[in-house]
Every structure is written in C-alpha cells, then in structure tokens.
Amino acid sequence: MMKRCIISMFAAVVLCSCVGNKAKLIVKVEAIKEGNVELRYITPHEQEGEAMNILYKSTFKDGKIEIELDSLQFNKGRKDCMLFISDNEHIKGASLPVVLEKGRTVKLDIPVNSSGQVTYSGTKHAEVFNQFWNTIQTESVNMSQRNANLNSSYANMEKAFREYIKEYPDAEISYILLTYVVQSMRQDTENALLAYCNELCLESKSDNKWRNTFCEILQGLQLAKITATKIVFTAQDKDGNIYSERDIKGKYILIDFWASWCKPCKEEMPHLKELYTQYKDKGLEIVSISMDSKRHEWLSYLTNNPMPWLSLMGEAQTLSERYGIEYIPFNLLCDEQGNVLQKNIHGAELDNAIKVLFDK
C-alpha cells in the first residue's frame, strides 16, 4: 500500500463543561516552562468563525497553570471551551479539551513528548474522559500512518464514542468531536463510526444544540456525496487563469490531487508521466490540482518540476469535503462527461483501470 499524506490534521475541538459556583483546573505542562494560557468557549453558530469568548487569559511559569472559575463567568450551566497553551515565542503549543465540574478540581498533565498521551484526573468524569479522549487521539494518529487500517480505527472510535455518549448523553463535547471527525471522513465508504453517526441522527432534535448542529452537518455531507459522482471544480493556473471542469477535454480524465509538501505525491509523479506518455494520444487527459495553502511553494515546485499536463491550484477545504479526501495523493478517474468512474486508485490498480477503459 502506498504512502499517504494527511490533508488536514485531526482538529482537537475542545470543550469544557463548566457548572456551578466554582470549578478549578490544574495543568502541568512539562514541555513549556513559561508562556501564555487562554480558556475560551464557542457555541454552535460560532464554529465557522474565529470569534470566541475568552473566559480566562494569563501567563504562567514553572510549567504550572491554575485556573479557578466561578458562576459570574458563566450565564448557563455549561460552556463549550478550549484551552490554549503556548510558549512566549509561540513555537510550542497545545489546544486540549477540558471538562470542568461544579466544586471539583480537574488535573491535566501534558507530557514532554508531543506523541505522548495527556492525562486527565481528579474526578470520576475526568478519568472516563481521559480514556475516551486518548482513544480518539490514538486512532487519529494511527489513521495517518502508512498501511493504516482505517476500518479498525473507525471501529475503535465508534466504541469510544458510543460508550461515552451512553454514560454522558447530555455532554456536548462528544458531538463537537464527532463533527470534526466526520468532516474529514469519506462519505462514500461505509464504516462503523459513520453507521453510528447515522443512528444518532435518526432521533428527533434535542435540547443539545451541538447534537443538532452535528446532525445538520452530517446531512449536508451526505447530500454532497450525491454530487460527488461528477467532477466539479474551479481552480487557477500559474498565470491566474480560471479553469473549471467544463474546460477539460478528453476521452478519459484523471484528476490528481497533490501538494508540493507531500513526498508520496511527488514520488508518484514519474509514474503518472509514464501513463500520460502511453495514453495521451488515445485520449487520456491528466489535470493536477494542488492542495497547497501557499501559492509561492506550489509555483516554486512547478518551476523546477514542470508537468506535461494542466496544473492548477484549488480550494483544498472545499475539494476535500466534496470528494471525501482524507489524504493525498488522491485521484478521480472520469469519463468525458465528467462522471467519476473510480476514486483513489494508484500503482498497478490505476494502470489496469486505464488499460481496461482504452481496450474497450
């Protein structure tokens, strides 16, 4: 199985449920001795923007943070929060979920090694959440590895979410995290977690606003799955000219999604050039759409590594959501009407698919 580059890292959407007169959080940060800390919260309608309410903002020393909150800082029983920590140079940092409880002290230990697991303790809920969060994080890391078993990781995530939501059905954090997981998940491939999400959303709307928001997003993604059966895009070439799917002509079209920072993508290029040389006179057209976020990096790569076909730069987030792109390189093999025939095939599998089409 070929190497893969993750498009977007698993977002640690962070919440805290803050209840009652006082809630205390003690954080030990082994990797950062002094720096800045903020505790923020978001509501469902704010999730698309940057505006978030700051509940607490300060500096810390000796790798220790103590935050004490009282009821004056909350206008309801719970607030969706994010804990941001950074050093003074903003080189090292972390954003992590925290669940604060009425009259209780929650402890959070952040290890030196960024790949290590954080530890939540101090209350029964903190211990349950510790197991839940670290399972989600572990499987997210596993899914980014070469030869990842995605079905196994989704199954383990499903078990963790199911158990946590069963024990804490009113918790908002579970639906926040599910929202970000499904947004990076392929909607055209069944897995245990996606099936569970559909099960959750069979029920009518609840008082949990984050659950309702999650189900609306899931419905939108599944609707987008229907439109993903045809290639639709808008992207620019190096000169700023706009292209869409209507400008691409060929008996069969291979849309290749890649990025200049993606080593496996660049390793695949010589093979694509061989295929193009072999089949271009028979009607094969290739279009590369870069998922780079920095235009100058894409242009620099093209200058030193010109492509014999059309190379464009597209809107990574939109394309990722539309076609369920979890990692790159990723491709779509289409017919001349733009109907997607096959998705994400590489190496010998791609060779055989193209051979079969042109041997018809």
What pLDDT digit, counting tens, does each position of 289-302 carry? 999 989 999 999 99
Contact 19, 75 (CB under 8 A): no
Structure-block tokens of residue 167: 């024990």
**Between 248 and 78, the higher pLDDT residue:** 248
Beta strand 22-29 with 5-6: parallel, antiparallel or unpaired? unpaired
**Per-residue model confidence (pLDDT) at position 258:** 93
Q: How many CB atoms lie within 10 A of CB 270?
A: 8
Give me the percent of the chain exceeding a pLDDT of 90.
Answer: 46
Question: Which of 27-31, 232-236, 258-262 is least confident?
Answer: 232-236
**Per-residue model confidence (pLDDT) at position 80:** 65
**Between 41 and 17, the higher pLDDT residue:** 41
Burial of 164 (0-12, 13-18, 19+ CB in 10 A): buried
**Per-residue model confidence (pLDDT) at position 95:** 87
Distances (CA, A) of 42 to 17, 68, 79, 165, 179: 11, 19, 8, 20, 14
**Per-residue model confidence (pLDDT) at position 184:** 74
* Cis, peptide link before residue 306, omega less than 30° from 0: no
**Per-residue model confidence (pLDDT) at position 26:** 95
**Per-residue model confidence (pLDDT) at position 5:** 53
User: Tokens 């003074």, residue?
Assistant: 88
Question: Which of 132-141, 164-173, 205-214, 284-293 is least confident?
Answer: 205-214
Q: Is the pLDDT of residue 268 over 80?
A: yes
Residue-wise pLDDT for 103-156, tens only, equals 889 999 998 765 668 999 999 999 999 999 999 999 988 887 767 788 899 999
Give the Cα separation of 323 and 333 in Å (integer). 12
Q: Which helix (H) or strand (E) holds 317?
A: helix 316-323
**Per-residue model confidence (pLDDT) at position 7:** 43
Reported as a pLDDT band with limits 50, 70 and 90, residue 45 is low
Q: Is the pLDDT of residue 18 over 70?
A: no
**Between 190 and 282, the higher pLDDT residue:** 282
User: Tokens 């076609």, residue?
Assistant: 323
Reported as a pLDDT band with limits 50, 70 and 90, residue 75 is very low
Total-model pTM: 0.59
Reported as a pLDDT band with limits 50, 70 and 90, residue 17 is very low
- Total length of the chain: 360
**Between 48 and 354, the higher pLDDT residue:** 354
**Per-residue model confidence (pLDDT) at position 71:** 59
Give me the percent of the chain exceeding a pLDDT of 70.
Answer: 85
Mean residue pLDDT across the chain: 84
Q: Is the pLDDT of residue 72 over 50?
A: no
Q: Quick one: average pLDDT of 272-284?
A: 94
**Per-residue model confidence (pLDDT) at position 115:** 60
Q: What is the DSSP letter of 88?
A: T
**Residue type at 43 in one-letter notation:** T
Domain boundaries of the chain, sorted by first residue:
10-227, 234-358
**Per-residue model confidence (pLDDT) at position 343:** 87
**Per-residue model confidence (pLDDT) at position 181:** 87
Q: Quick one: average pLDDT of 267-287?
A: 94
**Per-residue model confidence (pLDDT) at position 223:** 66
CATH of domain 234-358: 3.40.30.10
